[in-house]
Amino acid sequence: MKIAIVCYPTFGGSGVVATELGIALAERGHEIHFVTYQQPVRLGLLSNNIHFHEVHVPEYPLFRYQPYELALSSKLVDTIKHYGIELLHVHYAIPHAYAGYMAKKMLKEEDIYIPMVTTLHGTDITLVGNHPFYKPAVTFSINKSDVVTSVSQDLKQKTLKIFDVENEIEVIPNFIDPKKYSSTFTDCQRSLMASDDEKIITHISNFRKVKRIEDVIAIFYQVQREIPSKLIMVGEGPEKERAELQCEQLGLEEKVLFLGNSNEIDRILCFSDLFLLPSETESFGLAALEAMANKVAIISSNAGGIPEVNKHGISGFLSDVGNVDEMAKNAIHLLGNDQRLEKFKTNAKNVSKEFEIQNILPLYEDVYEKAYKSRYKNSY
Ligand code: GMT
């Protein structure tokens, strides 16, 4: 099938899922066209059946805000016509589902019927989409999508609660590609980060408020008093500076390494013992799943869809949001006993297998089939 994928191309989870899905679909023989404002960061070389179409938004002095949705809809119309695209898959409702619907409408005028699948990722529902400024447009775009998917049961329930949804929502969880984790890195240089007697704890995110970065540092502060350890912080975002300051105030500068954004998170995770994800809300927690696939145990909050990924007492432990003391206690419990830690790490790896791409990809293909079959009777 010829599929156009719209996503955010940066380091957020929705962009990662969209990119990895596109790559996997291309490997299965589909022709994939990414349409976004920058080449997605996880997309390596383009190939015969992976294409990238950049959306340009020309500057004009009259515009206080650049009309990205308009430029995106136009680019979609051109791309769909030029390449004979058969299906549109938009990741993250705002503004992609809205722009996708406009493209569908424009194409219908020319008797081109393009089905649209919308995947809800989390903050497009729980934080941004919920805002009264966006809610009517998000509700409309969800209802005008031919198929709607969400990345967890929890997100589905939240969407049904917050929005007046007329459509079915199919849950298709996020996934990992086992090929990426099958070989142990020969250059997994643990010694670059910590000495032999130290444990390595990792956090990866976009350092937004919702990630509760201050809790990550507070948990580590308690842990390092009991267990020789290092904390590796991967990512960039608005809370990073405050986190650096917090480390300075707690005297942790030597023990916390801020690495910035990385395209090589698997190389970092391969020498990690524990991953911290104390988020306020999290529709799924792809970062935790990627850590688990790298055989890393998880200490997390029990927010949103996290319990669907991190299994309490098996792959790690879950606590109420903000319960830093309990999270630190559980981390010490794991890190303080090598045998126990190894068991949880192995369990984490085993749980992650449920989410391997070969189990998930067919679910997307079924959804595409369903959307394509109903393209003429879709609501416009
Ligand atoms: O977590 C973020 O802040 C990024 C965000 C995004 O939209 O890229 O991630 C969301 O989508 C991911 C992929 O489906 C999920 O794994 C994350 O849990 C979800 N984030 C939140 O719900 C906060």
Q: What is the pTM of this model?
A: 0.93
Question: For residue 378, what pLDDT is reported?
Answer: 67
Give Cα 272 distance to the centre of its chain. 20
Do both 170 and 200 map to the same domain? no
Q: 247 and 287 share a domain?
A: yes
Same domain, yes or no: 120 and 208: no
pLDDT of residue 74: 97
Cβ–Cβ under 8 Å, residues 357 and 181:
no
Element (H, E) at 34: strand 31-36
> What pLDDT score does 185 carry?
57
Residue 322 Cα to ligand 1 midpoint, Å, equals 19
Q: What pLDDT does residue 262 have?
A: 85
Could you tell me if 311 and 298 are in contact, meaning their C-beta atoms sit under 8 angstroms apart? no
Is 336 contained in some domain? yes
Position 380 in a domain: no
Radius of gyration, CA atoms only, the chain: 21
Residues 227, 348: Cα–Cα separation, whole Å: 21
Give the pLDDT of residue 182: 64
pLDDT at 129: 73
The span from the CA of 309 to the CA of 23, in Å, is 23
Residue 304 CA: which ligand 1 atom is closest?
22
Q: Where are the strands (E) in the chain, listed by range?
A: 2-6, 31-36, 50-54, 87-91, 116-120, 147-150, 169-171, 199-204, 229-234, 256-260, 274-277, 297-301, 316-319
Q: How far is it, in rounded angstroms, from Cα 377 to Cα 187?
A: 54
Range of the domain at 190: 179-355
Q: How many domains does the chain have?
A: 2
CA of 286 to the centre of ligand 1 (A): 7
Altogether, the residues listed in the chain come to a count of 380
145 shares its domain with 237: no
* Pair 213, 79 in one domain: no
Residue 370 one-letter amino acid: K
Rounded-to-integer distance, Cα 50 and Cα 45, Å: 9
Separation of 207 CA from ligand 1 center, angstroms?
12
CATH of the domain at 292: 3.40.50.2000
pLDDT tens digits for the chain (380 residues)?
Answer: 999 999 999 878 899 999 999 999 999 999 999 999 999 887 876 778 999 999 999 888 888 888 999 999 999 999 999 999 999 999 998 899 999 999 999 999 999 999 999 999 988 887 777 788 889 999 999 999 999 999 999 999 999 999 999 989 999 999 999 887 765 555 567 887 888 899 999 999 999 999 999 999 999 999 999 999 999 999 999 999 999 999 999 999 999 999 999 878 888 898 899 999 999 999 999 999 999 999 999 999 999 999 999 999 999 999 999 999 999 999 999 999 999 999 999 999 999 999 999 999 999 999 999 999 988 776 67
Question: Are residues 220 and 168 part of one domain?
Answer: no
162 located within any domain: yes
**Residues 152 and 193 grouped into a single domain:** no
Which of 50, 29, 37 has the alpha carbon at shortest distance from 6?
37
Residues 253 and 315 in one domain: yes
**197 and 343 co-located in one domain:** yes
Residue 378 belongs to some domain of the structure: no
> Token pair of 47, please?
């190939």
CA 336 / ligand 1 centre spacing (Å): 31
Q: Which of 283, 302, 360 to mutate to test the pocket of ligand 1 (most atoms within 8 A of CB)?
A: 283
Query: Is residue 249 domain-shared with residue 362, that is, in the same domain?
Result: no
CA pair distance 142, 168, nearest whole angstrom: 10
- The pLDDT score that the predictor gives to residue 356 is 97
Q: From 17, 121, 124, give the residue whose CB has the most ligand 1 atoms within 8 Å, as the site to mutate.
A: 121
Task: Say what angle helices 13-27 and 286-293 make with each other, to 10 degrees.
Answer: 60
Contact predicate 247/165, CB 8 Å: no
| CA 48 / ligand 1 centre spacing (Å) | 30
Tell me, yes or no, whether 139 lies in a domain. Answer: yes
Instruction: Tell whether 324 is covered by a domain.
Output: yes
Identify whether residues 335 and 254 lie together within a single domain: yes
pLDDT for 184: 56
- SS3 assignment, position 178: coil
Q: Say if ligand 1 is within 6 A of residue 282 CB.
A: yes
- Please answer whether residues 171 and 153 qualify as being in contact, where contact means their C-beta atoms are separated by less than 8 angstroms: yes
If asked whether residues 156 and 205 sit together in one domain, one would say no
Inter-CA distances, 97 with 94, 112, 122, 140, 247, Å = 6, 18, 14, 9, 40
